[in-house]
Amino acid sequence: MKVKLLTTISFFTYQLSISQTEKLLKGKVVDQSYSLKDVEVINKTAFTSTRTNELGEFSILVNPQDSLFFFHKNYFFTRIRITAENIQTNNLVIKMILKPEELDEVLVSRSVFTKGDIHKIVNDREATNEIIVRKQFDDVTSKVNVYDGKIKNAVNLSYPIFDKPKKKIEVDNRFKKLVKASCPPDFFTNDLKIKADEKEIFLNYCNDDPKSKTLLEKSNILELMDFLYAKNEEFKKL
């Protein structure tokens, strides 16, 4: 009984000490020079969150070394680790990067030649001269009875032999597309410390994990981040 009581007291003392060290951090989220409203600000360490107002401003309780995530559906997420300097300055400015817009389907139409265009092609001087020279050459070679080593009317073996078309194996790359659409361009090099030439290898490694398909159904950005960090630790050990 005494052990349980001491454990409970120690737990509440620890929680109280943490709450006393928390500071209210104020900041602003912008896109270049424009304020962004409704950006979700999450303190992943303390499991608290808030949103930016009309002016892009926010305030949230933090401790040094806390991880803050900033999410908006039209922007790449941003992650920072709070420092003592951030708390002391108390004027954090976060710049988010706009996601590139997906282009609509491009319609490619075939070119249609008119009679005038065909007439120009037929009467092209260079094409006409080439045909004349080729005909003269054929006339001359057909009258010379010199064996050139060729077998007339033989089968032309230079034609390609077509095999049966191989069945195309489709690879599910939805998870890779989700990661590229959610993470900023420098996330892999700056946060995960992955070399640029190893990025695709790492994404394929994550894509092969069955859990990646589960994350597609949930669409939870925090779980996606946890998954990428965990897979990164495995990837570094390979």
Which tokens hold the place of 184? 């900023």
Higher pLDDT, 169 or 146: 169
Q: How far apart are CA 97 and CA 78, in angstroms?
A: 8
Q: Are 52 and 58 in contact (CB under 8 A)?
A: yes
Q: How far apart are CA 182 and CA 159, in angstroms?
A: 49
| Burial (Cβ within 10 Å: 0-12, 13-18, ≥19) of residue 35 | middle
Nearest residue to 56 via CA among 94, 87, 98: 94
Per the confidence metrics, is the pTM higher than 0.75?
no
Domains of the chain (ranges, CATH numbers): 20-95 (2.60.40.10), 174-237 (no CATH)
Over 60: is that where the pLDDT of 196 sits? yes
Q: Are 61 and 87 in contact (CB under 8 A)?
A: no
- Average pLDDT on 28-38 reads 91
Over 70: is that where the pLDDT of 160 sits? no
Radius of gyration, alpha carbons of the chain:
34
Each residue of 214-228: pLDDT tens digit? 888 876 888 888 889
**Cβ neighbours of residue 207 closer than 8 Å, sequence gap 6 or more:** 172, 173, 175, 176
Q: Are 27 and 93 in contact (CB under 8 A)?
A: yes
In angstroms, the first-to-last Cα distance of the chain is 48
- Average the pLDDT over each of 4-18, 79-93, 116-130, 142-156 and give the range with the smallest value: 4-18
State the pLDDT at residue 26.
94
The three-class DSSP label of residue 233 is: helix
